[in-house]
Structure 1
Amino acid sequence: MPRKTLRRFRLALPLFALAATACGPGGAASGGDTITLGLPVQATTLGPVYLAGDQDLWQEHGLTVKTVTFKGDAELAKAVLSGDVDVAVGSPTGPLTAEEAGQDVKVLYGGFDMTAFSWYAVPEIRNVAQGKGKNWGVTTIGSSTDLLTRFAAAKAGLDPDRDIKVVQGGASAARLAAMKAGQLQANIFTEPQTIYAQQAGYHKILDLADLVDSYPMHVTWSKAGFLTDDPGRAGKFVDTLSQAMQMTKDRPDDAAQSIAKANKISVDDARASMAEWIDQLHPDGRMPSAKAMDDFWQMGLQGKVFRHRLPDSQWLDSRFLPKTG
């Protein structure tokens, strides 16, 4: 993707009319603090969010939550910045590119420190380097899948701007369909699409775990006003998400049911997906280690998703994070 196009994504931040799909669970109770929660796509790794809706956890904490699912992190970021979404659980590339563009946003919670991504390719491509000149699918330009794919290409000695064509293809199911149609030759997936890709005759060419030990798959973020205008409401949201994360670990069968329903997959596939990341789910909301964040920034810089590294104080609000030191 040309550099100037990426800059347009960062700097063009128009008001965003909600042209997204409302997610079923979300808190239908009347009264209490009302929050619109945005998700980038349907994803099994967002299991705790689905479980919170199914188990009425938002209502227990005095919240009425409407959950809206978008077609990638770029659309989600625009919705947050326009005020259509109060808080998002998605890739950290969203808030960080917004902060680079001069927007006042903050990451307030982590906990999804997952290396659950893998790359799959058509049979003639046996490794990343052999993907030179091919079409590589990502959810949206500027998303975590974009950052990771560009980094993987650079690690294999390719120029991510010239040697591969990064194609914005939406959620995993849509990109797998595009692959079957011959429009894409390589793709980045999480479970269960990895299973479906194998069944379709594609093979794994790289695991994210081969590159890093930990990765900030999702973070909770918002405009700064969500924290400063009503800290109590933000605290209720974080408490509920933390409880849902712990419940996901303690009651995996219930979590699998919620994941299966939200993603329209089988419960067995939901369980298989959870096995990939359940040990990397942290209800205390911790961010990845310093080394893992160094790796993350290196990915973004090398893949040309970020122009420079931002100091933590510029984008991270630590009031709800575990105390260190």
Structure 2
Amino acid sequence: MSISRAFLQQTALGALVAAGALFSGHQAFAADKVTLMVGGYEKQIYLPAKLAEALGYFKDEGLDVELLNEPAGVDAENEMLAGAVQGVVGFYDHCIDLQAKGKFVESVVQFSQAPGEVELVSTKHPEIKSAADFKGKSLGVTGLGSSTNFLTQFLAVKAGLKLGDFTSVPVGAGNTFIAAMQQDKIQAGMTTEPTISRLLKTGEAKVLIDMRTIEGTKAALGGTYPAASLYMQTDWVEAHKEDTQKLANAFVKTLKFINTHSAAEIAEKMPKDYYVGDKDGYVKALGDGKAMFTADGVMPEGGPETVLKVLSTFSKDLQGKQIDLSKTYTTAFVKNAK
């Protein structure tokens, strides 16, 4: 029995229509793709990014989040401004710095209320007893224009030095920072965990200024200092409110997890190479510094004012500029988080 050409054509058309319906249905439910640049995702200060991924919270929100690693926050910021990524996991101070340059960027989720940074001094240089002794020294920072550079400049100027009295050397973090100190390319430098613990354990460095806790931060900087955050261009946030809300939902859940679980439980969720061969040291450092994270992603009261005051101490970009702090962060999404 022959099958008519018309029937075959109709059947083929029906199959195509069905396939098209399935395809469009798949597209409708596909996860939204968002790319975030992290200023060194092995750093404990930026732990919420990798933890949210490990816990599956991005997927729970229907997001396909790609995390890219960039050791220096200033380079991550440039990637975002160029449109290569939608957001940055980095320090809030860039939002203020960029407004002074005519660019509007806002912290959407505030991860921490202390920098989690330490100024370490090489034990080869016992003459460095305070920031006033930075004169003539080479000081390690992650990158020029980075938050570690901002904080280093502030501490030096606060101690009575001029910016030309010392040299900021971009050395990244981890192995590159450690090598720079071992080779005496830097005599002191600002870094985070787990780099801090690694150098303290070997006795190659000692702590000069500790900003891992809220108390230490207030002593060094004069107030609560909102640091690690998810920041994005204001225009992108306005145009993508649904995706921004989903990101806020995932990160607020992550911050709650950090606040309700032990350092050991959190460490178990992280890639094993982050321990750098010393899991106990990693867990201890996380336990000691865990209080820097906010419980809900909300900007701490008075924090933006402290950051503006710190940056205004040394930054020529900010001098004579009117900064609208209300445009450097938003609490709308974290307060609506599920």
TM-score (norm 2): 0.80
Q: Alpha-carbon deviations, 1:16-63, whole Å to 9, x = none?
A: xxxxxxxxxxxxxx9211110110113112222211111211111111
Equivalent position of 1:141 in the other structure: 144
Equivalent position of 1:311 in the other structure: 324
Report SS of the residue matched to 1:187: strand
Equivalent position of 2:240 in the other structure: 230
Take 2:89 and 2:315, find their aligned partners in 1: how far apart are those partners? 23
2:257 corresponds to 1:257: no
2:210 corresponds to 1:207: yes
CA contact 1:131–1:164 (8 Å) conserved in 2? yes
Q: Alpha-carbon deviations, 1:112-137, whole Å to 9, x = none?
A: 11242211112332222222100001
**Runs of 4 or more off by more than 6 Å in structure 1?**
none
Runs of 5+ consecutive residues of structure 1 not aligned to the other structure: 1-29
Amino acid at match of 2:139: W
Alpha-carbon offset, residue 67 of structure 1 = 0.3
In the superposition, relative to structure 1, how do residues 279 and 85 fare at CA in structure 2: closer, same or farther (>3 Å)?
same
2:64 corresponds to 1:34: no
Alpha-carbon offset, residue 104 of structure 1 = 3.1
Higher helix share: 2
CA contact 1:246–1:283 (8 Å) conserved in 2? yes
Amino acid at match of 1:311: D
Q: Alpha-carbon deviations, 1:198-251, whole Å to 9, x = none?
A: 224322222231314422121211112332222111100000011111112223
Q: Single out whichever of 55-64 and 243-252 deviates more from structure 2.
A: 243-252
CA contact 1:115–1:277 (8 Å) conserved in 2? no
CA contact 1:151–1:303 (8 Å) conserved in 2? yes
Q: Alpha-carbon deviations, 1:167-188, whole Å to 9, x = none?
A: 1111243112111011001111
2:279 corresponds to 1:277: no
Take 1:225 and 1:85, find their aligned partners in 2: how far apart are those partners? 14
Equivalent position of 1:157 in the other structure: 160
Report SS of the residue matched to 1:289: coil
Amino acid at match of 2:154: F
TM-score (norm 1): 0.83
2:255 corresponds to 1:245: yes
In the superposition, relative to structure 1, how do residues 288 and 263 fare at CA in structure 2: closer, same or farther (>3 Å)?
same
Percent identity at matched positions? 21
Equivalent position of 1:92 in the other structure: 92
Take 1:262 and 1:241, find their aligned partners in 2: how far apart are those partners? 23
In the superposition, relative to structure 1, how do residues 141 and 263 fare at CA in structure 2: closer, same or farther (>3 Å)?
same
Runs of 5+ consecutive residues of structure 2 not aligned to the other structure: 1-28
CA contact 1:47–1:248 (8 Å) conserved in 2? no
Equivalent position of 2:46 in the other structure: 46
In the superposition, relative to structure 1, how do residues 186 and 271 fare at CA in structure 2: closer, same or farther (>3 Å)?
same
Tell me the matched-pair count. Answer: 292
Rg larger for: 2
CA contact 1:44–1:263 (8 Å) conserved in 2? no
In the superposition, relative to structure 1, how do residues 279 and 305 fare at CA in structure 2: closer, same or farther (>3 Å)?
farther
Take 2:312 and 2:237, find their aligned partners in 1: how far apart are those partners? 29
CA contact 1:140–1:168 (8 Å) conserved in 2? yes
Q: Single out whichever of 183-192 and 258-267 deviates more from structure 2.
A: 258-267
Q: Alpha-carbon deviations, 1:279-313, whole Å to 9, x = none?
A: 231232111221x3332212111132641451123
CA contact 1:192–1:272 (8 Å) conserved in 2? no
Q: Single out whichever of 144-153 and 275-284 deviates more from structure 2.
A: 275-284
Take 2:76 and 2:273, find their aligned partners in 1: how far apart are those partners? 18
